Amino acid sequence: MLNTCDFILGENDSIVIVVPIQLPKDRPLTVEIHNKGIIFRSGEEALADISCDRRDILQRLVRKPRVGMIEFLNGAQNFPVYISAVANVEVHIAA
């Protein structure tokens, strides 16, 4: 189960999500953006509900149709240099 994540922020509002688990590859990944956080889904199954108070992170994600993800597994000796998964972004923020 996923209980934390991190973000790599780049120029032009680019963003990549870093997760400490191996993501399922057999179903589509979705990142739902809510007012107070992010829900990660694999198909219909929720992988995590993580609170995020950083408006800059949420605003970057809201602007993207898809987001890259990097799996940085516990015990890994080196940080991965590639995006290992891509998730669809769904916005669930009340206007």
Q: What is the pLDDT of residues 74-88, one digit of tens each?
A: 767 788 878 999 999
Entry pTM: 0.90
Amino acid in position 67: V
Percent pLDDT > 90 in the chain is 75
Cβ atoms within 10 Å of 91's Cβ, excluding its own: 13
Amino acid in position 86: V
Distance CA 63, CA 61 (A): 5
Confidence of residue 95 (pLDDT cuts 50, 70, 90): low
How far does the chain reach from its first CA to its final CA, in angstroms?
31
User: Residues 14-34: what's their mean pLDDT?
Assistant: 94
Conformational region of residue 65, where left means phi above 0, alpha means psi within -120 to 50, and beta covers everything else:
alpha
Distance CA 32, CA 65 (A): 11
Distance CA 84, CA 95 (A): 32
Domain residue extents for the chain: 6-91
Confidence of residue 59 (pLDDT cuts 50, 70, 90): very high
